[in-house]
Structure formats: structure tokens, C-alpha cells
Amino acid sequence: MPVSGGGFEQAYTVQAAVDTDTLWVLVPGVTQASHDKQPVAPLREALKGLPDTLGQIDSALGREAHHRPLEQRFGPDAAAPDSDDPLVQMAWRLKTQEGRAPYAKRNSTVEPVFGIIQQAMGFRQFMRRGLAAVTGKWTLVTLAFNLKRMHVLCGA
């Protein structure tokens, strides 16, 4: 991955598609991309291959601004754009009250998984090199997380 000041560093970005109800990691992923745009497509495709009983995936687009004025947060939604472009339609939908609600769940769904893996399980870095080795290790870590989660959900 490119680093500030020039040059490259052997580094990885881990991804996880997480179920909102159980916090199970449904699809783990590893990439060497320096941003999260490229890894989204493979995760989405892997989610489409899962059984329908696990639910449907929702799309996301762009970033939500921080500390918006109260009038924007709780006021009426803007009128729908007069465009057939799906990106324009999705961008508008994500700015509506209904569209922001699923995205807001990220703080209570995906982020706790990474926090538990780092803090409770003590996994902070990969000791192996190579994308295949790191992908295998991340899959093993997320499997261990899912086993811990099943133990909690079963009440054992």
C-alpha cells in the first residue's frame, strides 16, 4: 500500500460483511487497496451467493457528513431528483430519513465486531506475509469470532 511521504508498505485492509441481528461475520475479506471502494464489489457478490434466509443486502453510496445542522437532520426530506440515473437516485435516497437509518446501524453492527476482535480476542496484526496467507488468517479469526458469538447467542 502507498504510504505518506512516498514509497510502499506491505499492509492489508480487512473487510467484513456482518449480519445486523446476530453480529456474525458472513463474509470476511482482505485487500491491499488503500481505500474501501474496490473491496465492496467482491463482498457484495459473495453476499448474493448466501441463502435467502440470511436476508438481502442494501447498497450504500458516499459518506454522511458529520455534525449537520438540526434542521437538516430532523427536517423534511428534499424532493426526489428529476433524474433516471441510479446513482443520483441512490444519493438522494441515502439523504432521506428512511435512507439514513440503515447506514446509522454501522456503528452498532460492524464497528463492534472489529473492536471485539482487537480488544477481547487480542488480534491486532498479521504475522504472515502474502495476500493468500493473510486472507486465510483473517478467515480463521472471523471464524473464531463467530464461534464466540454463537456461544453468547446460545446462552451457554
- Give pLDDT, residue 59: 47
Sign of CA dihedral 136, 141, 142, 146: positive
- Give pLDDT, residue 136: 94
Q: Are 110 and 22 contacting, i.e. CB atoms less than 8 angstroms apart?
A: no
pTM, rounded to two decimals: 0.64
- Give pLDDT, residue 34: 73
Q: Which residues of the chain have pLDDT under 50?
A: 57-59
What grid cell was written down for 97?
A: 430519513
- Give pLDDT, residue 137: 95
Work out the mean pLDDT of the chain and round it to a whole number. 80
- In terms of Cα–Cα distance, which of 58, 30, 37 is closest to 137? 30
Q: Are 116 and 145 contacting, i.e. CB atoms less than 8 angstroms apart?
A: yes
